[in-house]
Structure 1
């Protein structure tokens, strides 16, 4: 069995070279998790993994989130895999997909966000649809000490309605009720100190308001942080090819998909590992 890691940039990402038939071999999942914690984004170029292997590989790496919110009637969903595409006819499902176009961290509705997200490219987009990642650990480490002290102790409210307002010019009362039923306003610390000694930030599209600030000042504060964390030194942009697999270290990253249309034909399969790091 061959297993090799090739860094992509000095600060974020690595290519993992291994055959699909070898990912379930003893020790591979442990190597992948170790590399994930080091490089934060792992790209398996054109590995062409079947859904069955994908599901088994996810299970080998840890406990998987169920599809209670994103389940649909697709064949992938029956295997515990979330099918990401714009050809859905359910409004809430489409909101989930379209909301991915904005920088976000998965699972800010929870006290323990998912550990890792696994994305497998079934059909690459004809145009648009790249996925971009921003390293929050690196953004924090590069921040001046005075700025870090300013952020400590501050709290932020996250909710799905914050994303909805980015997608809809005039949301209806029914839209707000639908969003709040899935992800109501949830307060978190802005600065997330993690058990391994690294520090992340709880920002992105779900971050709605800053506790103790008026709305406009809070929005300006959050937008300034987002601009810093998603600037070029901290980012990697992946252009999808059929068969690619990407795994990313969710508690330390923001990510987004670049806009695309249904006609682009982009179809991704996703699984998510349950989190291990409580927000505190």
Structure 2
């Protein structure tokens, strides 16, 4: 059986794995990848140049691949369940979706059950900008002072797409707000998420609006403070894309964001997503 070699990227987050693309589907390899993902949060396969059909097959071997419904754009990749991430889109919802990635967030905060993992491969690296940053929520929660943990236990958060979009729409129209709410209406989630694996993360990020039962400004201040804590250097890893890179990340334990870039940078990523099986609780 093929055994993968794992090299840690930072003490708290990330692992680099060197393996040929044609060995990814060998017996036992997807299972090893999944186990390492649960342990290290972010996996980098540098310059592996995985074909789309192998990306889809690996996703299916690692779990249940989610169809690209919200992000479906009629492309050949979309028909395979792959989301093409680029700024050359002309449909406004799709463009907003890509631009919204510039802020720290957890995927699936609008759903009862968020996704398990995301696989990203670099088709065209950006000429400038466009790095992807990751923050380890498990490590950040563990490092919180016990008094802060007691203070936030049991609190509930309102998440909505409008909050994220207002970061770059300074005067949204009623039509904009209706469009966002149709995709991601205000949704209540726990602030502290105790997971079945015994680990704990925080359900925060750009879609987090305020805390249920708190004055708006007090709730907003608490969320901002927690976000600042969780995205400190000791909990983060920033990935600069090179052509052919494959990155897999464990969504329930992370925040992520893309660094700003413009359409001229040419950045194109292909993404698949694995369905989750654990509800926010």
Instruction: Give the TM-score normalised by structure 2.
Output: 0.98
Give aligned pairs, total: 280
1:124 alignment partner in structure 2: 125
SS at match of 2:71: coil
Give yes or no for contact 1:210–1:219 (8 Å, CA) kept in 2: yes
1:3: Cα distance to partner? 2.2
Give yes or no for contact 1:2–1:17 (8 Å, CA) kept in 2: no
Give yes or no for contact 2:160–2:209 (8 Å, CA) kept in 1: yes
SS at match of 2:167: helix
1:77 alignment partner in structure 2: 78
1:114 alignment partner in structure 2: 115
1:47: Cα distance to partner? 0.4
1:156 alignment partner in structure 2: 157
SS at match of 2:89: coil
1:37 alignment partner in structure 2: 38
Instruction: Give the TM-score normalised by structure 1.
Output: 0.99
RMSD: 0.8
Work out the CA distance in 1 between the residues paired with 2:67 and 2:192.
Answer: 28
Work out the CA distance in 2 between the residues paired with 1:116 and 1:2.
Answer: 21
1:200: Cα distance to partner? 0.3
Work out the CA distance in 2 between the residues paired with 1:276 and 1:198.
Answer: 15
Work out the CA distance in 1 between the residues paired with 2:231 and 2:199.
Answer: 18
Work out the CA distance in 2 between the residues paired with 1:214 and 1:169.
Answer: 23
Q: After TM superposition, where is structure 1 displaced by more than 6 Å over at least 4 residues in a row?
A: none
2:231 alignment partner in structure 1: 230
Give yes or no for contact 2:4–2:32 (8 Å, CA) kept in 1: no
SS at match of 2:77: helix
